[in-house]
Amino acid sequence: MRFRKAAALARVPAGAAVLDIGARDRGLLRVLPERVHYQGIEIDPAYAAPDVRIDDISQGIPFPADCYDFVFCLEVLEHLPNPFGTLSEIHRVLRPGGVLVLSVPNPYHFKEIIWNVFGIPDRQGHFYAWTRQTMTKLAEMNGFRLERFGGTYLHPPIPMVSLLARSIVYRFVKT
């Protein structure tokens, strides 16, 4: 459901150059148009494939400047020690007017609130959590402008408004 929501928000045309950060098993590719130029990047060697490069993006994105029309970074940014640096690198690899589709966990989701109230430690490896306002500001500081956002799903996977959704997906444009 997260991939469908992200793809709908992105509106990727056939022939576009797409970078999928945190590609895993290339699930995003299943909801994109058939003739996109897809490149995934993943840290886990178990997901190596001809179109998925194994690399650690916290050390930079290993592609030239201005080479992608769309960058997807779904449920990855909160796991990185330097999200500011990563957004700067994404800005670098996007072509002028390129689109960043980014999703992060919703800090207002009932699970997050319950875990905070009861002091349950994060078990998912998250360093950060962002509200819509703070995510928008972080993106603006890295040369992006927010176009749209929306919720992904409630647990269990039921489409949901952004306030209650498990994750929030954003569409930013390179300025």
CATH of the domain at 94: 3.40.50.150
pLDDT for 157 equals 53
- Please answer whether residues 100 and 90 qualify as being in contact, where contact means their C-beta atoms are separated by less than 8 angstroms: yes
Q: What is the pLDDT of residue 174?
A: 98
DSSP secondary structure letter of residue 12:
P
Helix (H, G, I), strand (E, B) or coil at 103: strand
pLDDT given for residue 155 in this prediction: 52
Q: pLDDT value at position 98? A: 98
Residue 90 to residue 92: CA distance in whole angstroms = 5
Whole-number Å distance between alpha carbons of 4 and 133: 24
Task: Give CA–CA dist 153/167, Å, rounded.
Answer: 7
- What are the tokens at 21? 């950060």
| Helix (H/G/I), strand (E/B), else coil: 82 | coil
Residue-level length of the chain = 175
Domain count for the chain = 1
pLDDT along the chain (175 residues), means of 10: 90 98 96 96 98 96 98 96 97 98 87 82 85 95 95 57 74 96
Q: How far apart are CA 29 and CA 19, in angstroms?
A: 10
Residue with tokens 């500081």: 141
pLDDT number for residue 158: 52
For position 122, what pLDDT does the model report? 81
Domain encompassing residue 162: 2-174
- Look at strands 167-174 and 94-105 and give their pairing: antiparallel
